[in-house]
Amino acid sequence: MSWTSGPTPDPVALFLLYLDAQRGYSPATVAAYGSDLEGVHVFLQRRGKGLHDPAAVSKNDVTAFLADLHRRSLAKSSVCRKLSALRAFYRFLRQRKLVAEDPCASLSNPKLPKLHPKVLNVDQAVHLVESDVTPDPEGLRDLALLEVLYGSGLRVSEALGLDFGDVDLDQRLLRVLGKGRKERVVPLTGPAVERLRRYIEQRGAFGPALREQAVFLGKRGGRLTRKQADRIVKAMAALSGVPSTISPHTLRHSFATHMLQAGADLRSVQELLGHSRISTTQRYTHLDLAQIMRVYDAAHPLAGKSGESEES
């Protein structure tokens, strides 16, 4: 759906342009906002309204939209995302005095269950990054990608967005462009440096275009895509005996969990992950019962001692 029809710019088009040009959101994120708002607009059209005239939308309209999502058994996380997009849209309009009221103002998000990220254990992570692949250009690329995802805790979009100018193998550093185009510098592990060096030596086998600066390339010589990266991780998981249900993001979750379990402080891990809020990083502080018992047995002065007679 086009948001730019007519002589006057559509308010949704203005909002999406703002997300792109001023907030620095990625094209995928901007497209997701557009898709969510399009769903609202299509629903409102059945009620004789639309987001082309946001001032005419009432709280009852938004409530009816949420009820429709519930009837369609949409996941609560998806409902929250759509409502969040609508809130952001009206916040943008109010800040520019394009509407006087926000029809979402008094509405609450559905309560989501607290889910911990799925992670590999340390042995699984080591098996994965040490997969026995053939030392051809594709195998070297795949191992280098896994090392960057797990060893530096990057989002898959950050890893695939790396250009040559972002990699300093001598200093063992990566310059990463994260969410909101916020830049951070993260360290590389020793194995990641070695794997990247070996892969880069063979990178020309992919036939990259003369000006292609992407570090990770697909078969046709262009920047590796998210779908390709996901297939690589699943194939490597199957090869190493790790559950093939994992995704590139599982490696980021595993990085954060293993860092915290090894004693890294929360603020440092927050910086490494590029989280804007500490609460996001705190999701990784969950510990399983076995680990809690190990810590208890090692730390408590009475733990592990056999019972002594009180008559001594």
**So which residues are the catalytic ones?**
155, 179, 249, 252, 275, 284
Which pair of structure tokens corresponds to residue 43? 């629903």
What CA–CA distance (Å, rounded) separates 28 from 36? Answer: 12
Alpha helices in the chain (DSSP H): 11-21, 27-45, 59-71, 76-95, 122-129, 137-151, 156-160, 190-202, 226-240, 248-261, 266-273, 278-281, 289-299
Long-range contacts from 40-43, C-beta under 8 angstroms, 24+ separation: 40/65, 40/82, 40/85, 40/86, 41/1, 41/12, 43/68
**R_g over Cα of the chain:** 24
Is residue 311 packed enough to be buried (19+ CB in 10 Å), middle (13-18) or exposed (0-12)? exposed
Which pair of structure tokens corresponds to residue 277? 């809020």
Is residue 198 packed enough to be buried (19+ CB in 10 Å), middle (13-18) or exposed (0-12)? middle
Per-position b or e across 74-111, b if 16+ CB within 10 A of its CB: beeeebebbbebbbbbbebbeeeeebeebbbeeeeeee
Sheet holding 167-168, edge to edge: 167-168, 173-177, 183-187
Bridge partners of 174? Answer: 167, 186
Coil vs helix vs strand at 306: coil
